[in-house]
Structure 1
C-alpha cells in the first residue's frame, strides 16, 4: 500500500535527481538512527512528505556524506528535523499497519517486523488517532464492505493525519496540505486495490473493487480488470485532479522542480503503470 508517490526520473534535471537522492538517503539515515532494521521500511511516500514539508518551510539543505553498506559506496544525503519528522510518522504508520495485518492473518513474521521497528518519536495524540483510524479501516475490511469510497476515505484521513501538527507552516498552507494528503491517500488506496486484484482474487482476500463491481469466482480476473478499468481510471483521475488543485495552492519555496515532477508526472506515470499491468491490449 506504500511506495507509489515517486518521481518520473527521466524527466528530472540532474540537480533534481541529486536532490531526490539526498532526501531518499536522508530519510533512510533517519530511520536507521531509530534502529538499523528500520531503514528497510523506507518508502517513497515518506520521502515525498519530507520533501514537501521542507519546501513549504523554504529549507535549503547542505549535503552530508557517508558510506552506505547497501550500495558499497559513499552517498550524499540531507538531514534535519523535518526529515526526521517524516521518517518517524511513516514508521509509526507502518508499525501499526503490520500489527493490523498480523491480527487479520495471524502471520507472526509481520508482528515480529512491527516489533523490530524500534522506538518512534510521535505524540500520544497522533498515535491514538492513528490507531483509531486503522481500526476503522480494519472493520471495513473485516466486514467486507464493498465500497472504494468508504475504504479510501479512511486511508485518506490517515495520510491527512500524517501531515497534521507541523510546526513552522502557516494555517493556510496547512489546510491545503491536509487536503492534498487526503486525496493522495484515497488515490493510493484505490490504486493499490487495483494493483492487487489478481492476487486478492486468488487468495480470497478483501478488496473493495472486487466486491463493489461483483467479481465472481469463476470469472477470469483479466476480463474483470478490463471491465472495471475505465471506472477505476476515472476515479483515480478525479483524485489526481484534487491533488493537483491543492498542490497548486501550496507555497513551495524550495525543491519545487522536484516536487512538481512527482505531482505532475510521477503520479500519472504510476497510475497508468498499474492500470495497464493486466491490459491485454498493452501486453
Structure 2
C-alpha cells in the first residue's frame, strides 16, 4: 500500500536529484537508528512527508556523509528532527498495519515483521487514534463492504493523522496540509486497490473495487479490469485535483522544485502506470 508517492526522476535536475537522495538516505538513516532492519521498510511516501515538512519550515540542510552497507559506497544524506518525524510516523503506521493484518489473517510472519521494526515513540493519543482507524479499516475489509469511497476515506483519515501534530507550522498551513494528506491517503488506497485487482481476484482477497463493480469468479479478470478502468481513472483524477488544489495553497519555502515534481508529475505518472500496466514495481534505490 506504500511506495507510490515518488518523483518523475528524469525530470529532476542533477541538484534536485542529489537533494532528493539526501532526503531518501536521511529517512533511511533515521529508520536504521531505531533498529537496523527498519531501514528495509523505507518508502517514498515517508520521504515526501519529510520534504513537505522541511519545505514548509524553510529548512535547508547540509549534507552528512556515511558508508552505506547496501550500496557499498559513501552516501550523502540529510538529518534533522523533521526527517526523523516522517520516518518515525510511517514506521509506527506500518507496525500497526502489520499487526492489524496478522489479527485479520493469522499470518505470523506479519506479526514478526511488526515486532522487528523496533520501538518508535509516539504520543498515547496518536497511538490510540491510529489503532482505532486501522480497526475501522479492518472491519470494513472483514465485512466485505463494497465501497471504495468508505475504505479510502478511512485510509485518508489515517494519513491525515500522521501530520496532525507537527510543531512549527502555522494554523493555516496545517489545515491545508491535513487536507492534502487526507486526499493523498485516499489516492494511495484506490490506486493500490486497482494495482492488486488481479492478485486479489485470484486469491479471493478483499478488494472494494471487485465488490463494488460486481466481479464474478467466472468472469474474465482482464475484461473486468478494462470495464472498471474508466471509472477508477475518474475517481483517481478527482482525488488528484484535490491534492493539487491543497498543495497549491501550501507555503513551501524550500525544496519546492522537488515537491512540485512529485505532485505535478510523479503522482500523475504513477496513476497512469498502474492504470495501464497494472504491474507493481518495487522502489529502486535512488
TM-score bracket, shorter-length normalisation: over 0.9
- CA drift at 1:277: 1.2
The equivalent residue for 1:233 is: 233
Paired residues of 1:137 and 1:151 also in contact (CA < 8 A): yes
Matches within 5 A, 1:135-174: 135-174=135-174
Paired residues of 2:5 and 2:267 also in contact (CA < 8 A): yes
Is the partner of 2:74 in helix, strand or coil? Answer: strand
The equivalent residue for 1:71 is: 71
Partner Cα distance (1:164, 1:61) in 2 = 24
Is the partner of 2:120 in helix, strand or coil? Answer: coil
The equivalent residue for 2:282 is: none
- CA drift at 1:278: 4.8
Partner Cα distance (2:254, 2:152) in 1 = 31
Paired residues of 1:222 and 1:278 also in contact (CA < 8 A): no
The equivalent residue for 1:263 is: 263
Partner Cα distance (2:83, 2:223) in 1 = 43
Matches within 5 A, 1:12-23: 12-23=12-23
The equivalent residue for 1:110 is: 110
Is the partner of 2:235 in helix, strand or coil? Answer: helix
Matches within 5 A, 1:107-256: 107-256=107-256
The equivalent residue for 1:94 is: 94
- CA drift at 1:103: 1.1
Partner Cα distance (2:170, 2:120) in 1 = 26
Unaligned segments of structure 2, at least 5 residues: 280-286
The equivalent residue for 1:49 is: 49
Is the partner of 1:200 in helix, strand or coil? Answer: helix
Partner Cα distance (1:93, 1:278) in 2 = 25
Q: After superposition, what is the alpha-carbon deviation per residue over 1:6-34, rounded to whole angstroms, capped at 9, x for unaligned?
A: 00000001111001100000000000000
Paired residues of 1:24 and 1:44 also in contact (CA < 8 A): yes
Could you state the TM-score of these two structures normalised by the residue count of structure 2? 0.97
Is the partner of 2:216 in helix, strand or coil? Answer: coil
Could you state the TM-score of these two structures normalised by the residue count of structure 1? 0.98
Structure 1 residue runs of 4 or more that deviate by more than 6 Å after TM superposition: none
Partner Cα distance (1:62, 1:220) in 2 = 54
Cα RMSD after superposing both structures: 0.8
Partner Cα distance (1:124, 1:278) in 2 = 39
Partner Cα distance (1:125, 1:16) in 2 = 37
Paired residues of 1:225 and 1:278 also in contact (CA < 8 A): no
The size of the alignment, in residue pairs, is 279
Unaligned segments of structure 1, at least 5 residues: none
- CA drift at 1:239: 0.3
The equivalent residue for 2:28 is: 28
The equivalent residue for 1:60 is: 60
Paired residues of 2:194 and 2:278 also in contact (CA < 8 A): no
Paired residues of 1:24 and 1:77 also in contact (CA < 8 A): yes
The equivalent residue for 2:80 is: 80
Q: After superposition, what is the alpha-carbon deviation per residue over 1:21-64, rounded to whole angstroms, capped at 9, x for unaligned?
A: 00000000000000000000000000000000000000000000
